[in-house]
Amino acid sequence: NAGVTQTPKFQVLKTGQSMTLQCAQDMNHNSMYWYRQDPGMGLRLIYYSASEGTTDKGEVPNGYNVSRLNKREFSLRLESAAPSQTSVYFCASSQERTDTQYFGPGTRLTVL
Amino acid sequence: DAKTTQPTSMDCAEGRAANLPCNHSTISGNEYVYWYRQIHSQGPQYIIHGLKNNETNEMASLIITEDRKSSTLILPHATLRDTAVYYCIVRNPSGYALNFGKGTSLLVTP
Contact B96 A90 (CB under 8 A): no
Best B96, B100, B105 residue to mutate vs chain A (most A CBs within 10 Å): B96
**Mean of all residue pLDDT scores within chain A:** 94
Q: Which candidate from A42, A101, A102 shows the least CB-CB separation from B102? A: A42
- pLDDT per residue as tens digits for the range B86-100: 999 999 877 778 888
Q: How far is B46 from chain A (nearest CA, A)?
A: 7
Q: pLDDT-derived band of residue A7, with 50, 70 and 90 as boundaries?
A: very high
Coil, helix or strand at residue A68:
strand
Q: What is the pLDDT of residue B25?
A: 93
Sign of CA dihedral B4, B107, A102, A6: positive
Contact B103 A104 (CB under 8 A): no
In chain A the beta strands, taken as DSSP E runs, fall at: 4-7, 10-13, 19-25, 31-37, 43-49, 56-57, 65-68, 74-78, 87-94, 102-103, 107-111
B35 part of contact set with chain A, CB < 8 Å: no
Q: What is the pLDDT of residue B2?
A: 65
A57 part of contact set with chain B, CB < 8 Å: no
Coil, helix or strand at residue A83:
helix
* B35: nearest CA partner in chain A: A100
Q: What is the mean pLDDT of each run of 10 residues along chain B (110 residues)?
A: 89 97 93 94 94 94 96 97 96 83 94
B45 part of contact set with chain A, CB < 8 Å: yes
Contact A43 B98 (CB under 8 A): yes
Mean pLDDT on A10-26: 97
A89 part of contact set with chain B, CB < 8 Å: no
- pLDDT per residue as tens digits for the range A25-71: 999 999 999 999 998 788 999 999 999 989 999 999 999 999 998 99
